[in-house]
Amino acid sequence: MAAAAASSVQRDLLSHCGIRSSRLPPAGLRRRSSSLRLDGVFHRGRLVAGPPRGMPLKGHLGSGGSAKMTLSFKKAMKWWEKGLQPNMKEIESAEDLSCSLLNAGDQLVVVDFFSPGCGGCRALHPKICQIAELNPDVLFFQINYEQHKSMCYSLHVHVLPFFRFYRGAQGRLCSFSCTNATIKKFKDALSKHTTDRCSLGPARGLEEEELLALAANRDLTFDYPKKPVLLPKEIAEIAPATLPVPLLTRETENKTLAMAAR
């Protein structure tokens, strides 16, 4: 009994001196120390704390690859791209303009010349889109003056906004410039030329002078076969075969018989 009491006193003394203790620490201290043992790593007697196991370090993936983040921003629409209708089209070249007018057939075509820096063009654009929506049978072709300056110069377009109307075998109907304040001019021309009609013949498209001006422009890749010019000698050779033969009536026959009897 004396030996047991002595050993108990010794344990209590060692515990108070901070050397060692056989008693269990409190529950909170046990949880804290266990977490240190799980999360930390011992290096030469020192405890080095690190991230929990199973989670990748900052800047690294679990498989060893690098993490990448990409940000994508939606491209903002330009003002002449807003509100476009299915019957509106932007012209890309002189060849595109010529072919589009020919393929339009008997439909009314409105060619709209604009510039991104033109305030009047920007103010008028929403109304043109509304008119295009109300007139689905009319084609609206847009030509950007800044991108096609040379073509516009050949077509004698020197003021903006500018409009030209084409239709079927009639070709060019009218040309004018109007702004948001004079939109009535545009509406009047539209109501005048949107009446139902049937062209006798294929679509004419651009005028002869417009085609020749585009073909003569060296800045454009536009080919237009010129009509051959006949010389006077060639005309004289072709004329007898092409002249109409006069029809003989009974009166002319009697005159020719009388002249033969004399």
| Contact in structure between 205 and 166 (CB atoms under 8 Å) | yes
| Contact in structure between 122 and 85 (CB atoms under 8 Å) | no
Residues 6+ apart with CB under 8 A from 199: 106, 167, 168, 169, 170
The CATH classification number of 79-216 equals 3.40.30.10
Q: Catalogue the E-assigned strands of 145-192.
A: 162-167, 171-177
pLDDT tens-digit profile of 94-114? 999 999 999 999 999 999 999
Mean pLDDT of 41-45: 51
Examine the pLDDT at 49 and tell me if it is beyond 60.
Answer: no
The verdict on whether omega for the bond into residue 161 sits within 30 degrees of 0, i.e. cis, is yes
- pLDDT classification of 34: cutoffs 50, 70, 90: very low
pLDDT tens-digit profile of 151-161? 999 999 999 99
Q: Which residues belong to the active site? A: 118, 121
